[in-house]
């Protein structure tokens, strides 16, 4: 029996169902075939059938089960037809004809296997991102192409290659072994944060922030938190993304240019995101395993989120958090941020000493970040000529147009040449 | 992504009949539904409401507001709970809503929740500005 609703735009309905059901459909098929790439191919063929049949027959009562059943039948047909031709089909497990097991535990486990397989280390970051959003996030290839500003065939190719790689590397459809768990989870979190960062600070396109992309990352993060509620860093990542999302509206001026934290109108920060971010951080803390990288970054974002102004920010706390972060992940960018925090908590001179140490280590050569921060601190110390020279270097090195505009403005604000 | 509210409305008879059902079964069915939305990353809030008899109505039809005990108007359907979901489209909202474990006598009214863009033409309005500040302050 078809559900009683108008079949005005079946494509949109199929997209909505894929959104909700992709994980379950591809997860079940991948478990049966042991091959995520093949499972996604089969699911695609089933979706193509739905687009042809549903306008006539109406949307079935349980569209997810319909798609899974059709895909499964295709697997069996393909296996029979191509048994001798395509060794991929030989991998199909013998229990393929058995009823689909729909227990919540299995659906839960399939979803996890799906995430870990889509983010498998044999794939490059672009492939991990595309495949994860496609099968875990349930985005259509067209949506993905639009989000990443590439032509649809390019995105199709990216997904096809990702699937081929998984098959070629014979990546099993399973969650990682306990000894690999931490490293593999860290890869998954990295993939989600990569999607978010591309949205938060777009490296391509004419917009500084791509909210749609950041929101997909947040949705993935919340989903993962629902699947792995006992992993503190999953909550830490959600907290970090929520807290950073709270500044979206305040970060971009009407003309599209960037507004730095110091200059943002804090009344435009989104309180709902801040509240959810703080709640997520509290959930991470409540697990009692201490704060790792994402939780520490979230705690820094929280310290900013609760401060009424730059001057009233608890900079000493931020310094301590950056010190902890730097010990866990020694990284010159973290060190540079610590220098900024120290310059506010103590004085610009103390911050400059840290920056000079980074400069001596030559760790950030070629990046505009170091001269930009050094210029800022020198300007605060009244060493205008040196500041001018640093800002000029930063302008030469920066690649993002909006960030260049910020640096040029800083250069112009310096006192004129005497 | 737009947010939608699913407003649960149930006839008084269906609500009365549901009292004979195993409450734990209802909790389990609702729990599984809520969990599916949590693990999909779309759940943004929601609550159930206590018996409409405990509530009251403030009616503005007369010169002064009149308060009466009990549910609103002639009781055909009682509003007894809601969900807020953060989804990608109207179609996805419809999909999730149609999965709620509800039976005969129940309806979900699905309404999009307004956001800043709905008031874009009034961006200069003093109260629209104030509202942003209230929201920022967590009120």
**Interatomic CA distance for residues A260 and A262, integer angstroms:** 5
Instruction: For residue A374, name the pLDDT band (cuts at 50, 70, 90).
Output: very high
Would the pLDDT of A118 be above 90? yes
Inter-chain CB proximity A226 and B41 less than 8 Å = yes
Radius of gyration of chain A (CA): 25
Would the pLDDT of A15 be above 50? yes
Which of B95, B128, B129, B138 to mutate against chain A (most A CBs within 10 Å)? B95
- Please report, for residues A136, A313, A359, the alpha-carbon distance to residue A121 in angstroms, rounded to integers and kept in the order given: 17, 40, 33
Q: Tell me if residue A252 falls in helix, strand or coil.
A: strand
Instruction: For residue A219, name the pLDDT band (cuts at 50, 70, 90).
Output: very high
Min CA distance, A275 vs chain B (Å)?
A: 8
Inter-chain CB proximity A274 and B137 less than 8 Å = no
Residue numbers in A near B98 (CB within 8 A): 3
Residue numbers in B near A249 (CB within 8 A): 116
Please say whether the beta carbons of A19 and B92 come within 8 A: yes
Q: What per-residue confidence (pLDDT) applies to A1?
A: 39
> A96 forms bridges with which residues in the sheet?
none
Q: What per-residue confidence (pLDDT) applies to A379?
A: 94
Element (H, E) at B7: strand B3-11
Q: What are phi and psi for residue B132, nearest 5 degrees?
A: -60, -40
Question: Would you tell me the crossing angle of helices A36-57 and A63-82 to the nearest 10 degrees?
Answer: 120
Over residues A327-348, the mean pLDDT reads: 94
Exposed, middle or buried, B76 (CB in 10 Å: 0-12/13-18/19+)? exposed
Q: What per-residue confidence (pLDDT) applies to A84?
A: 54
Q: Tell me if residue A253 falls in helix, strand or coil.
A: coil
Would the pLDDT of B68 be above 90? no
Closest chain B residue to A307 measured between Cα atoms? B137
The phi-psi region of residue A196 (left if phi > 0; otherwise alpha if psi is between -120 and 50; otherwise beta) is: alpha
Exposed, middle or buried, A294 (CB in 10 Å: 0-12/13-18/19+)? buried
Instruction: For residue B55, name the pLDDT band (cuts at 50, 70, 90).
Output: confident
Min CA distance, A132 vs chain B (Å)?
A: 13
For the stretch A375-417, pLDDT in tens is 999 999 999 999 999 999 999 998 877 788 888 988 998 866 5
User: Which tokens belong to A103?
Assistant: 């227990």
**Interatomic CA distance for residues B7 and B101, integer angstroms:** 14
Over residues A115-127, the mean pLDDT reads: 95
Q: What topology is assigned to B3-136 in CATH? A: Alpha-Beta Plaits (3.30.70)
Closest chain B residue to A140 measured between Cα atoms? B88
Q: Torsion angle, CA of A345/A331/A193/A205, rounded to 10 degrees? A: 90
Question: Would you tell me the crossing angle of helices A232-245 and A178-200 to the nearest 10 degrees?
Answer: 0
Radius of gyration of chain B (CA): 18
Inter-chain CB proximity A271 and B92 less than 8 Å = no
User: Looking up tokens 């993304």, which residue turns up?
Assistant: A241
> A415 forms bridges with which residues in the sheet?
none
Over residues B72-77, the mean pLDDT reads: 70
The shortest CB-CB distance from B132 to any of A218, A222, A268 is to A268
Please say whether the beta carbons of A247 and A269 come within 8 A: yes
Strands, E assignment, B26-114: 43-48, 56-59, 66-69, 77-86, 106-112
Higher pLDDT among residues B1 and A235, named by residue: A235
Task: Out of A65-79, A258-272, A300-314, give the one with best mean pLDDT.
Answer: A300-314
Interface list for chain A against chain B, based on CB atoms closer than 8 Å: 3, 5, 9, 12-13, 15-17, 19-20, 104, 108, 111, 212, 215, 218-223, 226-227, 249, 266-272, 274-275
> B48 forms bridges with which residues in the sheet?
B81
**Interatomic CA distance for residues A222 and A131, integer angstroms:** 18
**Interatomic CA distance for residues A67 and A197, integer angstroms:** 34
Would the pLDDT of B60 be above 90? no
Over residues B59-64, the mean pLDDT reads: 83
Inter-chain CB proximity B89 and A5 less than 8 Å = no
Which of B43, B136, B137, B138 to mutate against chain A (most A CBs within 10 Å)? B136
Provide the pairing of β-strand B77-86 with B43-48: antiparallel
Question: Would you tell me the crossing angle of helices A315-328 and A293-305 to the nearest 10 degrees?
Answer: 170
Min CA distance, B21 vs chain A (Å)?
A: 23
Residue partners of A268: CB distance under 8 A and separation at least 6: A249, A250, B132, B136
Min CA distance, B71 vs chain A (Å)?
A: 31
Would the pLDDT of A6 be above 60? no
Summary mean pLDDT of chain A: 88
Element (H, E) at B4: strand B3-11
Q: What per-residue confidence (pLDDT) applies to A93?
A: 45
For the stretch B25-44, pLDDT in tens is 888 888 889 988 988 889 88
Please say whether the beta carbons of A158 and A165 come within 8 A: no
Residue numbers in B near A212 (CB within 8 A): 1
**Interatomic CA distance for residues A295 and A126, integer angstroms:** 25
Over residues B72-92, the mean pLDDT reads: 84
- Please report, for residues A1, A236, A370, B133, the alpha-carbon distance to residue A263 in angstroms, rounded to integers and kept in the order given: 59, 27, 20, 17
Inter-chain CB proximity B132 and A15 less than 8 Å = no
Provide the pairing of β-strand B106-112 with B77-86: unpaired
The shortest CB-CB distance from A16 to any of B1, B95, B116 is to B95
**Interatomic CA distance for residues A11 and A227, integer angstroms:** 29
Closest chain B residue to A64 measured between Cα atoms? B95
Nearest residue to A273 via CA among B129, B90, B86, B39: B86
Residue partners of A240: CB distance under 8 A and separation at least 6: A193, A277, A294, A295, A297, A298, A301
**Helical ranges in B42-117 per DSSP H:** 90-98
**Interatomic CA distance for residues A243 and B85, integer angstroms:** 19
Please say whether the beta carbons of A124 and A92 come within 8 A: no
Min CA distance, A168 vs chain B (Å)?
A: 30
Nearest residue to A36 via CA among A181, A129, A165: A165
Would the pLDDT of A2 be above 60? no
Q: What are phi and psi for residue B66, nearest 5 degrees?
A: -115, 130
For the stretch A251-293, pLDDT in tens is 888 777 778 888 888 888 888 899 999 999 999 999 999 999 9
**Interatomic CA distance for residues A211 and B1, integer angstroms:** 9
Work out whether the CA dihedral A232, A235, A240, A241 comes out positive or negative.
positive
User: Which tokens belong to A147?
Assistant: 């989000």
Closest chain A residue to B31 measured between Cα atoms? A104
pTM of the model: 0.84
**Interatomic CA distance for residues B126 and B139, integer angstroms:** 17
Min CA distance, A111 vs chain B (Å)?
A: 9
Q: Tell me if residue A375 falls in helix, strand or coil.
A: helix
The shortest CB-CB distance from B89 to any of A12, A270, A271 is to A12
């Amino acid at each position: 029996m078809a559900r009683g609703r108008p079949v005005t735009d079946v494509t949109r309905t199929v997209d909505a169902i894929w959104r909700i059901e992709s994980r379950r459909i591809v997860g079940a098929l991948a478990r049966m075939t042991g091959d995520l790439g093949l499972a996604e191919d089969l699911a695609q063929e089933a979706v193509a059938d739905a687009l042809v049949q549903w306008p006539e027959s109406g949307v079935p009562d349980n569209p997810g089960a319909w798609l899974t059943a059709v895909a499964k039948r295709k697997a069996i047909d393909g296996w029979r037809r191509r048994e001798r031709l395509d060794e991929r089909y030989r991998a199909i497990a013998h229990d393929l004809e058995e009823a689909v097991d729909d227990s919540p535990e299995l659906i839960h486990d399939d979803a996890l296997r799906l995430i870990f397989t889509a983010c498998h280390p044999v794939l490059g970051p672009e492939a991990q991102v595309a495949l994860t959003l496609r099968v875990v996030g349930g985005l259509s290839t067209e949506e993905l192409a639009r989000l990443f500003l590439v032509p649809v065939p390019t995105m199709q190719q990216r997904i096809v290659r990702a699937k081929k790689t998984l098959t070629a590397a014979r990546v099993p459809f399973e969650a990682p072994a306990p000894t690999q768990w931490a490293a593999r989870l860290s890869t998954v979190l990295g993939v989600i944060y990569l999607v978010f960062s591309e949205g938060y600070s777009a490296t391509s396109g004419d917009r500084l922030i791509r909210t749609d992309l950041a929101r997909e990352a947040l949705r993935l993060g919340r989903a993962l938190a629902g699947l792995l509620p006992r992993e503190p860093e999953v909550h830490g990542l959600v907290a970090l993304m929520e807290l950073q999302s709270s500044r979206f509206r305040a970060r971009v001026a009407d003309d599209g240019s960037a507004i730095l934290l110091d200059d943002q109108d804090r009344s435009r920060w989104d309180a709902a995101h801040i509240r959810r971010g703080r709640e997520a951080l509290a959930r991470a803390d409540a697990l009692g395993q201490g704060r790792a990288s994402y939780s520490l970054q979230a705690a820094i974002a929280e310290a900013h989120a609760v401060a009424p102004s730059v001057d009233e920010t608890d900079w000493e706390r931020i310094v301590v958090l950056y010190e902890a972060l730097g010990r866990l992940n020694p990284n010159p960018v973290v060190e540079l941020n610590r220098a900024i925090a120290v310059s506010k908590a103590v004085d610009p001179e103390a911050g400059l000493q840290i920056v000079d140490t980074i400069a001596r280590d030559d760790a950030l050569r070629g990046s505009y970040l170091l001269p930009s921060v050094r210029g800022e601190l020198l300007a605060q110390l009244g060493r205008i000529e040196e500041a001018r020279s640093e800002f000029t270097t930063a302008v030469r090195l920066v690649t993002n147009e909006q960030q260049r505009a910020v640096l040029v403005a800083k250069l112009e604000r310096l006192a004129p040449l005497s | 992504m737009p947010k939608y509210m699913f407003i649960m409305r149930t006839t008084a008879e269906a609500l009365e009949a549901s009292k004979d059902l195993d409450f734990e079964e209802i909790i389990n069915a609702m729990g599984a539904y809520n969990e599916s939305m949590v693990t999909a990353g779309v759940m943004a809030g929601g609550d159930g409401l206590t018996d409409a008899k405990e509530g009251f109505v403030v009616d503005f039809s007369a010169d002064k507001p009149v308060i009466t005990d009990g549910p609103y108007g002639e009781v055909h359907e009682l509003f007894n709970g809601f969900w807020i979901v953060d989804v990608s489209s109207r179609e996805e909202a419809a999909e999730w809503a149609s999965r709620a474990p509800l039976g005969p006598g129940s309806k979900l009214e699905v309404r999009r929740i307004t956001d800043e863009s709905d008031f874009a033409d009034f961006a200069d309005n003093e109260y629209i500005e104030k509202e942003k500040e209230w929201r920022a302050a967590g009120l």
